[in-house]
Amino acid sequence: MLRLEKRPQPSKFWNWATPVLAVVLTMIAGGLLFMALGKDPFAAIKMIFWDPLFSPQFAAYSRPQLLVKAGPLILIAVGLAVGFRAGIWNIGAEGQYIIGALCGAAVALWFWPAPGWYIFPLMVLAGAFGGWAWAMIPAILKTRFNTNEILVSLLLVYVAEKILAAMSVGRMRNPDGAGFPGSRNISQYPAASNQELIANTGMHWGVVAAFIAVIFTYIMLHRHILGFQVQLAGQAPRAARFAGVAPARLIVLCLGFSGAMAGLAGMFEVSGPARMISIDFNSYYGFTAIIVAFLGRLHPVGIVLAGLLMALTYIGGELAQFMLGLPSAAIQVFQGMLLFFLLAVDVLSNYRIRLSVREAV
Amino acid sequence: MKRRILLATSAFALGLSALSGAALADDPLKVGFIYIGPVGDHGWTFTHDQARVAVEEHFGDAVETNYVENVAYGADAERVMSQMALSGVDMIFATSFGYGPDVNSVAQRFPDVAFEHATGYIQEAPNVGLYNARFYEGRAVIGHIAGRMTETNTIGYIASFPIPEVIMGINSAYLHARAVNPDVQFRVVWAYSWYDPAQEAAAAEALIEQGADILMQHTDSTAPVTIAQDRGILAFGQASDMTAFAPESHLTAILDEWAPYYIDRIQARIDGNWEAGNVWHGIVDGMVGFAPMNERIPADVLEEAEAMIAAIEAGEYHPFTGPINRQDGSAWLAEGEVAPDGDLLGMDFYVEGMTGDVPN
């Protein structure tokens, strides 16, 4: 008979081993799924995890693309992780990402086509501000009226999507765009463009910002009093209050920081890889980043690895789609399994599994 | 001397082309497709994928196709097309307007791959061809049928985004409904989405509440025709034959028929004479078609509709033929004047008689 026994302390070993175990379990379950779809499971798993990194045909192109895809995920996830550690649940990073992109793009389109070294830095500020401001709505509603930040931040995603659509066909529409929705191509506007810093490396300012955010967050969480307060508030809210942590201040800080990071990610994306504001500009980065944050154990270094892994499943998943004819839904299920198994095996870090013989009564 | 070099070079070139010709004959031509939506949407992406299947059936072993669905504009599209090109495809069909910048960027890096971009307008590389369909021809026909069949004189129109393609469709349908029914009114609801079954259903309900007894849609899901069936009113499907979802209510649908164009372009690529074009095909080219007409359409209306289809196909009739005024009463087309393509592709106004405003 299997029995679960609560550990007095979460296991350090399993805390880091469970993500690896989750990946292995995902590979096994995913392989079975691909087999049920009539595909060679080994070929499919190899195509997703190996070929983007090492196949001579694709690797030279795909490896830098990992950074492009992972950059915004890491930047958003690092911001979210701080709040999640404190028990503050910002589920609306997708909306803050959109508003950040809109604010950044607004600055670029305002100055278009003038040159100026100050335009890109202004866009960075506007992007961060936009995301911060959008996150302040749930923050203020929570601190003033005690609303649930999960619901408010999530619902604001849909509001942001409507604003995005209205902007794409309205104020920000490209006047030379033959009436199609979407703004001017910002990546073709030199003063506002977020180009690759070194050719064929995938490194753009957004990736740089992600790594700065990772280092900053690491130091803050592990070396700064604020990091201690965040941990305390998450693990023992009552004790935190006695220790002098002001909950309202923490809520505003955590939501504001994650909002600003998401806004930055949107701004770097719209001026670089995504090129322009369009109706479908947001591609679930804000939601995927939640998976990345948990997969990375809410730890900045873990998030970097998780972001790269998630990006790998996207890029490899696309290869598997057109090389092997797998439907995109199968890839999405595969990615979903990753989070599912991660949460499922989490039990191992908090509980010990004991084999016991039940005594007859 | 010079002449000899020239001869040698051309002989070399000939040899090369013979070589590649032989290679083409042996290996199947590889064609990749990227889709904005899922292949099962029964709308836009579905019709492109049906055409891909038709390509495979037509060419058999001579052509190999593959596709990626749900590809977002921007970095994702650029990456998917780049990886397709690296995998050795000879031709890529990018089937949504927003892929424009991505198609052109990838095309510049892979000059040997032929790109065909649906409903786009950017050609910054010599290997990017554009194609689009004159769906307004189909809208004229369903507008006529609706004008003749409505009893409440109210037609509900579920529109996606206020862009020329959609505004052109509303105007075309309205002009031809009004031509046979001066009292007809169009009610337009903007869904701000191409595919959102829940929102389209809500829009359909709202339009029925406002008295519409016939629905038209410029969105891709089957939700509006299903609602029409439930509520016992009439509707026109979109993109593919949606009869199965509303057997009694589905009058007909404007079909997106991409297969003839795809087969033609792929054949050209096989023959080695593919060149980037920019075409806007209509009923006559087989790109715009109609689902089977419902038996509920009265015989005389059906006859008129078929006559209109024949006239458009024969080039005798253009759905935008003057006199047509703009909504504000200013003149757009004079008596007998036919709308230039440029006017249609930039259309941002309603025609005279339409109520409501184009959202801005």
pLDDT, tens digit, 9 for 90 and up, residues B44-53: 999 999 999 9
Please tell me if residue B259 touches chain A, with a CB cutoff of 8 Å: no
Q: What own/partner pairs with CB < 8 Å and gap ≥ 24 does A205-208 have?
A: A205/A120, A205/A124, A205/A268, A205/A272, A206/A71, A206/A72, A206/A75, A206/A264, A206/A265, A206/A268, A206/A269, A206/A272, A207/A67, A207/A68, A207/A70, A207/A71
- Torsion sign across C-alpha atoms B6, B11, B16, B17: positive
- Beta carbons of A58 and B86 less than 8 Å apart: yes
| Residue in B with minimal Cα distance to A171 | B360
Share of chain B above pLDDT 90, in %: 83
Do the domains at B2-133 and B135-255+289-345 have one common CATH topology? yes
Select from B68, B102, B348 the Cβ nearest to the Cβ of A318: B68
The pLDDT assigned to A39 comes to 92
Distance CA A185, CA B121 (A): 14
Mean pLDDT over each residue of chain A, to the nearest integer: 91
Q: How high is the ipTM of this complex?
A: 0.89
More confident residue, A154 or B322: A154
The pLDDT assigned to A360 comes to 55
Residue B66 clears pLDDT 60, i.e. is over it: yes
Contact A174, A182 (CB under 8 A): yes
Residues in A touching B161 (Cβ below 8 Å)? 165, 169, 181, 279
What CATH code would you report for B2-133?
Answer: 3.40.50.2300
Please tell me if residue B87 touches chain A, with a CB cutoff of 8 Å: yes
The pLDDT assigned to A202 comes to 87
Residue B2 clears pLDDT 70, i.e. is over it: no
More confident residue, A356 or A208: A208
Instruction: Give the tens place of pLDDT for each residue, A52-111.
Output: 999 999 999 999 999 999 999 999 999 999 999 999 999 999 999 999 999 999 999 999
Please tell me if residue B83 touches chain A, with a CB cutoff of 8 Å: yes
Report the gap between the CA of A318 and the closest CA in chain B (Å): 7
Contact B85, B278 (CB under 8 A): no
Report the gap between the CA of B201 and the closest CA in chain A (Å): 18
Select from B38, B66, B83 the Cβ nearest to the Cβ of A62: B83
- Beta carbons of A179 and B83 less than 8 Å apart: no
Report the gap between the CA of A165 and the closest CA in chain B (Å): 7
Tokens standing for residue B308: 């209109």
Instruction: Give the tens place of pLDDT for each residue, B94-143.
Output: 999 889 999 999 999 999 999 999 998 899 999 999 999 999 999 999 99
Confidence band for A123, pLDDT divided at 50, 70 and 90: very high
**Taking residues B182-204, what's their average pLDDT?**
93
Residues in A touching B192 (Cβ below 8 Å)? 162, 165-166, 169, 279
Which domains does chain A show, CATH number per domain? 1-39+328-361 (no CATH), 59-325 (1.10.3470)
Please tell me if residue B279 touches chain A, with a CB cutoff of 8 Å: no
Distance CA B263, CA B300 (A): 36
Contact B167, B348 (CB under 8 A): yes
Task: Look at domain B135-255+289-345 and name its CATH class.
Answer: alpha beta
Surface-to-core class of residue A137, CB atoms within 10 Å of its CB (0-12 exposed, 13-18 middle, 19+ buried) = buried
Residues in B touching A181 (Cβ below 8 Å)? 161, 163
Chain A residues with a Cβ under 8 Å from any Cβ in chain B: 57-58, 61-62, 65, 68-69, 162, 165-166, 169-170, 177-182, 185, 269, 273-276, 278-281, 283, 315, 318-319, 321-323, 325, 327-329
Residues in B touching A195 (Cβ below 8 Å)? none
The pLDDT assigned to B167 comes to 96
Select from B76, B87, B359 the Cβ nearest to the Cβ of A57: B87
Report domain extents, chain B: 2-133, 135-255+289-345
- Beta carbons of A322 and B66 less than 8 Å apart: yes
The pLDDT assigned to B20 comes to 43
Please tell me if residue B66 touches chain A, with a CB cutoff of 8 Å: yes
**Ranges assigned E (strand) in B134-265:** 154-159, 185-190, 214-217, 234-239, 250-256
Q: Please state whether beta strands B114-118 and B128-133 pair in parallel, antiparallel, or not at all (unpaired).
A: parallel
A16-20, A84-88, B219-223, B321-325: least confidently modelled range: A16-20
- Torsion sign across C-alpha atoms B326, B332, B279, B292: positive
Please tell me if residue B118 touches chain A, with a CB cutoff of 8 Å: no
Q: Please state whether beta strands B288-290 and B154-159 pair in parallel, antiparallel, or not at all (unpaired).
A: unpaired
Residue B219 clears pLDDT 60, i.e. is over it: yes
Please tell me if residue B86 touches chain A, with a CB cutoff of 8 Å: yes
B87 dihedral zone (left: phi>0; alpha: psi -120 to 50; beta): alpha
Select from B83, B161, B359 the Cβ nearest to the Cβ of A318: B83
Report the gap between the CA of A278 and the closest CA in chain B (Å): 8
Residue B13 clears pLDDT 80, i.e. is over it: no
Select from A169, A275, A321 the Cβ nearest to the Cβ of B68: A321
Interface test with A, best of B31, B49, B68 (most A CBs within 10 A): B68
Interface test with A, best of B66, B73, B89 (most A CBs within 10 A): B73
A261-270, A281-290, B170-179, B225-234: least confidently modelled range: A281-290
Residues in B touching A69 (Cβ below 8 Å)? 75, 79
Task: Report pTM.
Answer: 0.88
Instruction: Give the tens place of pLDDT for each residue, B142-167.
Output: 999 999 999 999 999 999 988 899 99
The pLDDT assigned to A147 comes to 95
